[in-house]
Every structure is written in structure tokens, then in C-alpha cells.
């Protein structure tokens, strides 16, 4: 247990002690890294005159402490904080003794932890052995002058930052913020006018419009203010190489584990997955630091066999890419480029080798396609492997865990005899009766199996249809992660998503340029971009639920809600668990420094610390979570590691643990990416947005209208699920105070935007209602009202223009984004709201089927495939209703005379506003061959007709005129 008046050194495990003033000794006044004075003096004597955590020189730190009274005040303040925190921790620890029996097992009769006594005994034995060996193996002493000469270049390199923030021009940013504030003021005046000037003869329509406009203004605030401080970043890959890849020395770059997830090879073509894997294996990074894990969540033999072929082709493809610096390193997309491939290729053999490699790739494609053709029909007895044994994954819902290492550990080399990166096939165990949590569960299984086999400190996850387009993308991320000044508190580096196979006009806003080039840059200036599911480099420690190094661990129960927990015992146990984690970290660290300690004692120590409740019953995996710099123990037996890897992907491993709740990918939503990033940033981590000039990753699948709407439906449904869960940003994570309020606004926007569909559908219906009834939602405009309306429209336009200036997006990108906001809002978002409430409250899971019809177009043909889906009905109905309203409005104007044309202009303007925003939908619905599904037209016309008939019968928004008023009007008419 942690004692109230003692603080232990993170280097030797001894007590920190006090300084000359009787206060707790503090070595570094920048990060307050806990280390004793003896270790500091030893480091200085060995010319390591800087803090181990933040690299601040000790001499400068001490000079400031001696010469500045403020520093000494901070020092005493910090000492008191440490003392206070220890007293609180001790209080909780004493209470925890009553609820946890493990603490009694860890202490001896005198109250000291047992592991400390064991470590001391091992230390004494180790010192005796080392004294005997010291006389035999004497190391020559390097003169201090020579040592300083060798250290100086590295210190000079270390002083140069690996990345810099490139802020937006102050002029552009000041103008942008001024317009935002001006628009906010105009909105306030606009709503004051709208509320104080009701329309009496159409009160219902006026009230509906007011409610819709207030919600739109609230949505604008949530979307606009997180873009208050946008920034750009610049990386220096050459400095990274100079610092960590010195000539004649082994590379010091950190290892990276790549995750590729796939489920159904019939929907996710194996050739696309193979290209993604090949682009990873050929990445410009040290081969011994790269490992690629492919998760086959469908346990398909087709995926396994295609990876066998991919591993064989990689032996030829990788040396070709490295020799000629090929970009991109996915062969399908490299050979399909319509550029001069001879540019910048000066080697005479390039043309010959390129032709040979293209021929090899065509043969590889033939083999993959043959496997796909063979897999079209499953044999009655199931698939069998080459040795005649049945394929274990014949039943995708009931099969054991499977792991196969293709490259790396198997000793395979490429055609030139060079080492290859690791390639590992993983299919987690699945059994009936267990909840497997789809993609989030598969990613968590990869986290565990990779920790056992390679344990790289960083993880990069990609979808199976996203290939590495920039071979230096990992180095770009390492410029942030490995920078001691920047990367300490960074949980992930997010890259933007870019896509191939989309037409130039980007009809359905597939590229999502406004989000990736505007919103994400704005978030990067606050606490970092949100996690978008792919193209992201993670700090493994952040996935394990640890807090940033610069902050103490938060009790998990206190970080969940703004209200204090009602279960005091749970708070105590969480604090106890955090205290045990710190003790175990120190214990394992000390054990690693001893050569002859007992493995059984180590496993018993881990077991007694009750870490199984958090990470599961695997001592190998638990120890890997404490290795901040990654790596596998040198004494590990490969066969033992494979057995342990099979154990951690079993379907029952996560039972009664924190997986999916506090660590790993978080469960509870189909958009587990947003939820996972949100949990990390609530703990105090920050993220970074990296936009290299050459896009790091690219998606390869074109999306037609129906598929695009279903993609948006899935995203919106995930947001509704988060809104209805305990992780809702409206109330989650207030206790720690580590999530900035602008960042919280951004997360609130990500979960409430689907609800905008309700006022949006109502607002898009109002123009048709106004045209059919002859009424309007706005009274006769005065000069003040006209000025307010004009100022509002001008501020909207100016805001967009200034965003284009600092972000680089085009007018077409903004307009496409605006159009699809309306299209998605009146279709996918609307269905997501109802589906989410039915699923979360009533347990009913609805499904909107998609049926495809073929397209004849060769280029971008898939974009024009027409698929029947229920999502097509609401937008089509709105278009028909507004067109009918326009026709009815012009008919009334022709019969009403000259005076009726003035009011008609405003109504028709709003109707055409709706039609113009839905125009891409209408164009996509018609297709190039005008093959609109008949069922869509029938349903839409039927709904529009019913709407018109019901309106004529009920007419709810128009003031009723009684017969007396009609008679009085008739009397006043001069016949």
C-alpha cells in the first residue's frame, strides 16, 4: 500500500526523501517526475544531466530554483500537493482494506509490502553476483572531454523540434472571428424581430418556423465555435531520421503494429485487402519495426488463402518498391496511374523491371480471382485445407481462434535476401451465446494478440479498403509521437480520409472535404481531432486506459459523470486499483533490473495485484501493458507466446473485465470510433491532426447514392446510440475537468446532429404549405426587418468565404456539403432517429434493405447504380410536394392579379431553395439511363397526394373564417 508520508523513486524504488529545507525532494520542476536525490546525482555523474521524462536539463532547473524565489514557492507548493494527495490516497487505501482481501495478502506482519522485501532480497543476490563478475569484465573509462564531444551532436539534434504549429494568419483569423461574433449578434436581433412579430393568420406555420430556426441556430453554434482557433502543422522527417537513424547504428524508431480488419470477402474483395496489406508491408520504415495483423472476423478460408498468395507476392513487390521509391505502394493503384512513370526514375533497369513486376502482378490477380471464383459455392461438407483436415472456420459463428504467422518470425526473406515485416492472420474465437461486439471487439482482440506477439508501442489501424498512399506516413506520425515535447500527452495522430474512384463533381459529397479540411483543423487547435475510424496512429498506453504522463490517473468512477457516484465503496475500489497499478509498475520495473529472479514469483505478484479484473487472466499480456516502450521479453518462448495469443482471443476472455468499458475500443455504439476517442480525451489526452502534402491513406471504393445514404444512416445511428447512453457528452466526463469546453461542444455536435432532421423536414415542407394555402410565415417586411434579413444572408456568405481563405476548400466543396446536409438530413438522419429510439428503448432492430440494379456506364458506373431503399422516399416526396406547390402558387397568382405576384416571390424562393438543395439527389435518382425504381415514384406520388388531400380537409395552420365574416364581406361589396 502507498503510505501517507512516503513517496517512492520511479528509478530505484527507494524512498524519495526530503531536501535541505525538510520538504519533499523534487528533481524536475517542469514535470515533477518522482526520483530520489541519489539517482539524480548518479545521472549527473554519468553525464545524463536531464530529466528522464521531459528532457529538461537538471542544471538549468536547479539554477532557476536557486535564483528565483517563485520557483522555490512552486516547489513548496508541489511538495504540499504531493503530501495532500498522498494523504487522500492513504485514506482511500485504508478504507479499501475493508473491502479487498488482496491487500492483506500483500503486506507482511510489519505492514510493509511483500514484493518490496522480495525485491530487496533479489537485489542483494544480484549485487554479489555482479561484484564477482565486475573484476573479470572491466569496461574502459572514456575521458570526460571525449564523452562531451560525442554527446554534443545528439544534443544539437534533440534541440530541433520534429514538428511545428503553423498558425493561420492573424488577419484572416481576426476577420473570421469578427464575422462569427457579428453573425451571432445579427441572429439575436433576428430572433427578437421574429418572436415579436407573429403572423396571426398563419400562427401554426409561424410557430413551427420559429422552433426550426432556433434549432438551426443552436446547431450552427455547436458547429461554428469549435473552429475558433484553426491551425496547420508541419513535420520534419529529415530531423526524425537524423535523431533516430544515425549512420552505423541500429534504427531507434519505435515499432508500429498495423491493424487491418475484414469480415466478408464477398463484400470486401480479397484483391483490395491484398493491396492494403502489400502497401503496409512495403512502407518506408525499418522492416523489423513493422508488423501487420489482419483480422478475419468472418473466419473465411478465402481470406486465409488470399493472404498466403499475398505473402508470396510480397517477396517480389517489396524490394521493387524500395529500390525505385514507388508511390503508391499498392500495386493495383500504382499500375493504374495515368502519369509518366518514367519521371524521376534514372535507373536504366527500371523499365525492364517494371514490366516484369506488372506481369507478376497480373498473374497474382489471376490467382486471387480464381480463389474468389472457387469460393462462390461452398461445398456441402465444408472447406478442407491442403492436408485434408476441415477448415476450422466453416461455421463463422462457432469456431476456435486461429493465428498464422506468414512472414517475419517464420524466417522468410524477399527475393534479394532481405528481412520482411511480420504478417499475421488472426481470427478470434466465436461461440454461440457470447456477445462479440462486431468491429470494436475484433480491434480489441488485435490489441491483445499484438501485445503478446510484438507489443509495439504504437498501433495504426486501417480499413481493408484503405491503402497506404504515402510510404512515409508512419514517419509523419512519429514526428509527433516520438517528440518528447509534443508526444507525451498525445493519444493518437489522425490522418484525413481521401478517396479514389469518385467523379470530379463529387455529387454525393463522398470526399467530405469540409469536415476533413475545415472542422478537423479547428479541433486541432483545441484538444485535437475526433477519431474517425481509420488512418489513425494510437499510443498503446492510451488504449489501456492510462492517463497522460503529465497527469495523475483519474479514478474511473469519477470521470464518468458530472454527479458524484452513489456507491462510495466503488470509488474506494477504483482508487485502490490505481494505487495498485502504480505499485505493480514499480515492482515490475525493479524486477527487470535483476538477472536471476523467479518467473513464478513474478506471475504470483501480478496475480496478487488484482490486474486480472481489468485486463483479463493473462500474466504475459498484463506485463506487456506496463512496458511503455513496448517489446517482448527476451526470455519469451515463441511457442508459448502463440499459445498465450490464442488464449487472449478466446470469446470468454473479456468476461468480467474492463475491455470495451474503460480500455480498448469502447462498446455500445456502431460508431465505436467517436466513443473511443471521446473517452481518451476525457482522461486528459490530446490528439493531433496530420495532413501531409501527399495524402497518407486513400479509400478505394466508389459509393452510389443508396450506399452513401446507408453509410450516413449508420453514422447517424451511432450518434443517437451515444446520445442515449451513459457516455453522452452532455453529462459524461465533467468530474475530471480535462475536456475543454470547446472540445465538448464539438462532441455534443457529433451526437445531436441527427435530431436536426426533424426541424429540417418540417422546414422543407413549409414552402409547399405556404404555396398551397396562400399564407406565409413572415409578415410584411419593414425596413428594419429587410436589413436584418440582408445582414443575416451577407454574414452567412462572408463566413463561408473566410473559411475558404484559411482552409483552402473550394466553393463547390462548400455547396456540395450544404446540399448533402439537406439530403442526408431528410432521409438517413430522420430514419436514424426513429431507429435509434426503437433500438435503445424498445429493443427493436429495424433494417432497411438495399436491392441493386446494374448500371451500364463503364466510368464511375457504380456511382449510377440505382438501389431500392426506404431512405429514398422522404426526399422524393419533398421534391414532388414543392414542385406541386410551385405550380399551385403560379396558378393562384395568374388568377389573383398583379398584387398577388409580390408575395409569391418569397414563397417560390423558399420552394426553389429546397429543390436546389435536393437536386443532386434528384439527379442521382434519375441516373444516366433515367432508370428510377418505379416503387420509389409510386410511394412518393402517393404520399404527396395523401398530404395534399389531408391538407385540404384539415388545413391546421390557417385561421378559420366563420360564416358571419363572409356575410359581412359580401354586404360590403359594391355590386
State the pLDDT at residue 771.
83
Averaged pLDDT, 325-331: 90
Q: What is the pLDDT of residue 642?
A: 87
Q: Which helix (H) or strand (E) holds 402?
A: strand 402-407
pLDDT category at 554 given cuts 50, 70, 90 is low
Whether the pLDDT of residue 901 is over 60: the answer is yes
Burial (0-12, 13-18, 19+ Cβ within 10 Å), 82 = middle
403 φ, ψ (degrees, to nearest 5): -135, 135
Which secondary structure element, helix H or strand E, spans residue 460, and what is its range? strand 458-463
Would you say 680 and 663 are in contact if contact means Cβ atoms under 8 Å apart? no
In terms of C-beta distances under 8 Å and separation of at least 24 residues, what long-range contacts does 840-845 make, across chains too?
840/720, 840/721, 840/724, 840/725, 841/724
Amino acid 892: pLDDT: 74
Bridge partners of 24? Answer: 18
Q: Establish whether 305 is an annotated binding residue.
A: no
Of the candidate ranges 19-28, 139-148, 749-758, 961-970, the one whose mean pLDDT is the lowest: 139-148
Per DSSP, the residues of 181-202 read HHHHHHHHHHHHHHHHS--GGG
974 pLDDT band, cuts 50/70/90, is low
As a whole number, mean pLDDT of residues 485-511 equals 85
Distance CA 728, CA 722 (A): 6
Q: Note the pLDDT tens digit of each residue in 682-724.
A: 888 999 999 999 999 998 766 777 778 888 888 999 899 899 8
The kind and range of the H/E element at 852 are strand 851-853
How many CB atoms sit inside 10 A of residue 212's CB?
A: 20
- CA dist 15 and 5 (Å) reads 10
Q: Residue 49 annotated as binding?
A: no
Report the predicted TM-score, pTM, of the whole model to 2 decimal places. 0.75
The pLDDT confidence band at residue 474, using thresholds 50, 70 and 90, is very high
Is 755's pLDDT higher than 90?
A: yes
Between CA 817 and CA 815 the distance in angstroms is 5
pLDDT at 569: 38
Give the residue with greater pLDDT, 97 vs 970.
970
CA triple 236-240-246, angle to 5 deg:
140
Whether 625 shows a pLDDT value over 60: the answer reads: yes
Average pLDDT over residues 736-760: 89
Whether 398 is catalytic is: no
Burial pattern 700-720, b for ≥16 Cβ within 10 A else e, equals bbbbbbbbbbbebbebbbbbb
Q: How far apart are CA 413 and CA 477, in angstroms?
A: 27
Flag whether pLDDT at 59 surpasses 70: no
- Residue 434's CB is within 10 A of a number of other CB atoms, namely 15
Per-residue confidence (pLDDT) for residue 925, from 0 to 100: 63
The answer on whether 782 is annotated among ligand-binding residues is no
Cα–Cα distance measured from residue 666 to residue 672, given in angstroms and rounded to the nearest whole number = 6
For residue 39, what pLDDT is reported? 77
Nearest to 614 by CA among 656, 575, 584: 656
CA atoms within 13 A on the CB side of 539: 30
Residue 538, all three cell numbers = 494510437
| Contacts of residue 125, Cβ cutoff 8 Å, sequence gap at least 6 | 594, 596
Does the pLDDT at position 79 exceed 60?
A: no
pLDDT digits (tens, 9 = 90+) for 656-675: 888 888 889 999 888 888 99
Percent of the chain's residues with pLDDT above 90 = 23
Residue 514 Cα distances to 358, 686, 814, angstroms: 37, 22, 7
- Which strand ranges, in their side-by-side order, compose the sheet holding 697-699? 466-468, 697-699, 498-499
**Are 696 and 470 spatial neighbours (Cβ–Cβ below 8 Å)?**
yes
- 378 close to 299: Cβ distance less than 8 angstroms: no
Least confident of 65-69, 433-437, 634-638, 912-916: 65-69
CB atoms within 10 A of CB 676: 26
Backbone angles phi, psi at 910, to 5 degrees: -65, -35
Using pLDDT thresholds of 50, 70 and 90, give the confidence band for residue 587. Answer: low
> Within 13 Å, how many C-alpha atoms sit on residue 487's CB side?
25
DSSP H or E run through 371: helix 350-374
Three cell numbers written together for 883: 414542385
> Is there a contact between 711 and 511 (Cβ–Cβ < 8 Å)?
no
Burial 268-288 (b: 16+ CB within 10 A, else e): bbbbbbbbbbbbbbbbbbbbe
Question: CA 710 to CA 117: how far, in whole Å?
Answer: 61
Nearest to 927, CA basis, from 703, 705, 702: 705
Between β-strands 536-539 and 490-494, what pairing exists: parallel, antiparallel or unpaired? antiparallel
- The whole-chain average pLDDT of the chain stands at 76
Per-residue pLDDT, 150? 41
The answer, yes or no, to whether residue 929 has pLDDT greater than 60, is no
Confidence at residue 1, expressed as pLDDT on a 0 to 100 scale: 32
C-alpha 800/C-alpha 806 separation (Å) is 10
Q: What's the pLDDT score for residue 964?
A: 57
Distance CA 611, CA 587 (A): 14
Annotated ligand binding at 297? The verdict is yes
Q: Determine the pLDDT at residue 644.
A: 87
439 labelled ligand-binding: yes
Is the pLDDT at 315 greater than 80? The verdict is yes
Query: Which tens digit of pLDDT belongs to each residue from 367-400?
Result: 999 999 988 888 878 888 877 788 888 888 888 8
Phi, psi values for residue 892, rounded to 5°: -65, -35
The verdict on whether residue 438 carries a ligand-binding annotation is yes
The reported pLDDT for the residue numbered 114 is 44
Tens of pLDDT along 772-791? 887 888 877 678 888 888 88
Q: Is 268 annotated as a binding residue?
A: yes
Cell (9 digits) for 807: 482552409
Out of 61, 257, 297, 571, pick the active-site residue: 297
Of 5-14, 235-244, 361-370, 528-537, the one with minimum mean pLDDT is 5-14
| 743, 527 contact by CB (below 8 A) | yes
Task: Give yes or no for a contact between 783 and 789, defined as CB atoms under 8 angstroms apart.
Answer: no
Q: Is the pLDDT of residue 489 over 60?
A: yes
Q: Does the pLDDT of residue 492 top 90, yes or no?
A: yes
pLDDT in tens, 267-294: 888 999 999 999 999 999 998 899 999 9
Residue 314 pLDDT more than 80? yes
For residue 468, list its beta bridge partners.
Answer: 697
Question: 938 is written with which cell numbers?
Answer: 409510386
**465, 673, 707, 813: which is the annotated catalytic residue?**
673
Q: Is-contact 193 780, C-beta < 8 A?
A: no
| CA nearest to 535, candidates 589, 498, 480, 585 | 498
Is 297 assigned a catalytic role? yes
Tell me how far apart the alpha carbons of residues 626 and 596 are, in angstroms, rounded to a whole number: 20
Q: What is the pLDDT of residue 143?
A: 41
In this prediction, residue 467 carries a pLDDT of: 92
Q: How confident is the model at residue 839 (pLDDT cuts 50, 70, 90)?
A: confident
Residue 884 confidence (pLDDT): 82
What grid cell was written down for 299? Answer: 473466419
Question: Over 50: is that where the pLDDT of 141 sits?
Answer: no
Amino acid at each position: 500500500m502507498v503510505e501517507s508520508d512516503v513517496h517512492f523513486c520511479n528509478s530505484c524504488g527507494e524512498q524519495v526523501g526530503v531536501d535541505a529545507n525538510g520538504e519533499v525532494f523534487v528533481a524536475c520542476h517542469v514535470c515533477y517526475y518522482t526520483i530520489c536525490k541519489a539517482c539524480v546525482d548518479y545521472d549527473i555523474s554519468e553525464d545524463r544531466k536531464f530529466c528522464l521524462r521531459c528532457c529538461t536539463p537538471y542544471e538549468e532547473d536547479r539554477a532557476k530554483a536557486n535564483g528565483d524565489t517563485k520557483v522555490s514557492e512552486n516547489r513548496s507548493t508541489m511538495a504540499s500537493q504531493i503530501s495532500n494527495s498522498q494523504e487522500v490516497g492513504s485514506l482511500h487505501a485504508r478504507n479499501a482494506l475493508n473491502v479487498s482481501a488482496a491487500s492483506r495478502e500483500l503486506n507482511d506482519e510489519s505492514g510493509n509490502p511483500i514484493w518490496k522485501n522480495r525485491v530487496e532480497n533479489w537485489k542483494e543476490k544480484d549485487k554479489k553476483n555482479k561484484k564477482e563478475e565486475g573484476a573479470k569484465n572491466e569496461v574502459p573509462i572514456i575521458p570526460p572531454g571525449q564523452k562531451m564531444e560525442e554527446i554534443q551532436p545528439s544534443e544539437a539534434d534533440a534541440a530541433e523540434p520534429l514538428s511545428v504549429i503553423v498558425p493561420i494568419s492573424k488577419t484572416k483569423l481576426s476577420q473570421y472571428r469578427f464575422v462569427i461574433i457579428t453573425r451571432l449578434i445579427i441572429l439575436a436581433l433576428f430572433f427578437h424581430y421574429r418572436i415579436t412579430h407573429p403572423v396571426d393568420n398563419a400562427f401554426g406555420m409561424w410557430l413551427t418556423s420559429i422552433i426550426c430556426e432556433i434549432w438551426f441556430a443552436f446547431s450552427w453554434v455547436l458547429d461554428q465555435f469549435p473552429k475558433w482557433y484553426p491551425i496547420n502543422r508541419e513535420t520534419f522527417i529529415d530531423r526524425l531520421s537524423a535523431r533516430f537513424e544515425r549512420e552505423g547504428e541500429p534504427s531507434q524508431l519505435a515499432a508500429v503494429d498495423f491493424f487491418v480488419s475484414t469480415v466478408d470477402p464477398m463484400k470486401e474483395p480479397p484483391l483490395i485487402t491484398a493491396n492494403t496489406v502489400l502497401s503496409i508491408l512495403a512502407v518506408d520504415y525499418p522492416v523489423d519495426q513493422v508488423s501487420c495483423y489482419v483480422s478475419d472476423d468472418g473466419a473465411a478460408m478465402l481470406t486465409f488463402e488470399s493472404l498466403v498468395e499475398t505473402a508470396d507476392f510480397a517477396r517480389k513487390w517489396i524490394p521493387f518498391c524500395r529500390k525505385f521509391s514507388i508511390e503508391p505502394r499498392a500495386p493495383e493503384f500504382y499500375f493504374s496511374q495515368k502519369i509518366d512513370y518514367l519521371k524521376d526514375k534514372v535507373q536504366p533497369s527500371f523499365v525492364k523491371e517494371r514490366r516484369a513486376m506488372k506481369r507478376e502482378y497480373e498473374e497474382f490477380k489471376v490467382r486471387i480471382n480464381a480463389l474468389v471464383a472457387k469460393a462462390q459455392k461452398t461445398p456441402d461438407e465444408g472447406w478442407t485445407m491442403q492436408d485434408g483436415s476441415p477448415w476450422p472456420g466453416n461455421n463463422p459463428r462457432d469456431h476456435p481462434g486461429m493465428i498464422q504467422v506468414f512472414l517475419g518470425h517464420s524466417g522468410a526473406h524477399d527475393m534479394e535476401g532481405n528481412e520482411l515485416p511480420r504478417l499475421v492472420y488472426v481470427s478470434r474465437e466465436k461461440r454461440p451465446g457470447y456477445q462479440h461486439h462486431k468491429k470494436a471487439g475484433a480491434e480489441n482482440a488485435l490489441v491483445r494478440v499484438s501485445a503478446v506477439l510484438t507489443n509495439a508501442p504504437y498501433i495504426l489501424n486501417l480499413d481493408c479498403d484503405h491503402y497506404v498512399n504515402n510510404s512515409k506516413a508512419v514517419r509523419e506520425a512519429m514526428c509527433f509521437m516520438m517528440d518528447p515535447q509534443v508526444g507525451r500527452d498525445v493519444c493518437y495522430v489522425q490522418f484525413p480520409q481521401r478517396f479514389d474512384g469518385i467523379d470530379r463533381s463529387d455529387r454525393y459529397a463522398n470526399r467530405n472535404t469540409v469536415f476533413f479540411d475545415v472542422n478537423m483543423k479547428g479541433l486541432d487547435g483545441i484538444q485535437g481531432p475526433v477519431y474517425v475510424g481509420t488512418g489513425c496512429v494510437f499510443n498503446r498506453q492510451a488504449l489501456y486506459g492510462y492517463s497522460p504522463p503529465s497527469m495523475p490517473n483519474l479514478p474511473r468512477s469519477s470521470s464518468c459523470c458530472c454527479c458524484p457516484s452513489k456507491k462510495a465503496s466503488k470509488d474506494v475500489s477504483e482508487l485502490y486499483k490505481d494505487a495498485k497499478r502504480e505499485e505493480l509498475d514499480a515492482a515490475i520495473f525493479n524486477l527487470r533490473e535483476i538477472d536471476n529472479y523467479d518467473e513464478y514469483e513474478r506471475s504470483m505478484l501480478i496475480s496478487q495485484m488484482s490486474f486480472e479484473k481489468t485486463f483479463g487472466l493473462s500474466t504475459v499480456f498484463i506485463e506487456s501493458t506496463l512496458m511503455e516502450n513496448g517489446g517482448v521479453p527476451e526470455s519469451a518462448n515463441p511457442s508459448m507466446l502463440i499459445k498465450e495469443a490464442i488464449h487472449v482471443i478466446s470469446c470468454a476472455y473479456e468476461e468480467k473485465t474492463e475491455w470495451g468499458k474503460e480500455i480498448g475500443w469502447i462498446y455500445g455504439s456502431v460508431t465505436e470510433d467517436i466513443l473511443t476517442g471521446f473517452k481518451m480525451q476525457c482522461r486528459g489526452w490530446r490528439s493531433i491532426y496530420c495532413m501531409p502534402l501527399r495524402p497518407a491513406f486513400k479509400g478505394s471504393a466508389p459509393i452510389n447514392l443508396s450506399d452513401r445514404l446507408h453509410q450516413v444512416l449508420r453514422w447517424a445511428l451511432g450518434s443517437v446510440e451515444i446520445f442515449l447512453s451513459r457516455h453522452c457528452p452532455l453529462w459524461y466526463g465533467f468530474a475530471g475537468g480535462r475536456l475543454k469546453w470547446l472540445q465538448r461542444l464539438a462532441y455534443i455536435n457529433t451526437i445531436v446532429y441527427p435530431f436536426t432532421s426533424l426541424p429540417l423536414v418540417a422546414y422543407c415542407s413549409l414552402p409547399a404549405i405556404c404555396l398551397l394555402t396562400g399564407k406565409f410565415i413572415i409578415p410584411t417586411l419593414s425596413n428594419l426587418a429587410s436589413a436584418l434579413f440582408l445582414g443575416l444572408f451577407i454574414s452567412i456568405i462572408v463566413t463561408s468565404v473566410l473559411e475558404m481563405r484559411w482552409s483552402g476548400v473550394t466553393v463547390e466543396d462548400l455547396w456540395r456539403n450544404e446540399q448533402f446536409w439537406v439530403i442526408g438530413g431528410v432521409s438517413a438522419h430522420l430514419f436514424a432517429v426513429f431507429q435509434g429510439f426503437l433500438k435503445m428503448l424498445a429493443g427493436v432492430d429495424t433494417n432497411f434493405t438495399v436491392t441493386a440494379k446494374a448500371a451500364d456506364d463503364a466510368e464511375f458506373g457504380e456511382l449510377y447504380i440505382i438501389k431500392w431503399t426506404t431512405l429514398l422516399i422522404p426526399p422524393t416526396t419533398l421534391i414532388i410536394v414543392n414542385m406541386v406547390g410551385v405550380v399551385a402558387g403560379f396558378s393562384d397568382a395568374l388568377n389573383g392579379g398583379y398584387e398577388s405576384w409580390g408575395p409569391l416571390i418569397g414563397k417560390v424562393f423558399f420552394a426553389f431553395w429546397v429543390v436546389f438543395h435536393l437536386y443532386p439527389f434528384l439527379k442521382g435518382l434519375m441516373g444516366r439511363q433515367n432508370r428510377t425504381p418505379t416503387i420509389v415514384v409510386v410511394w412518393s406520388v402517393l404520399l404527396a397526394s395523401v398530404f395534399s388531400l389531408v391538407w385540404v380537409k384539415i388545413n391546421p395552420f390557417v385561421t378559420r373564417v366563420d360564416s358571419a365574416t363572409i356575410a359581412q364581406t359580401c354586404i360590403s361589396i359594391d355590386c
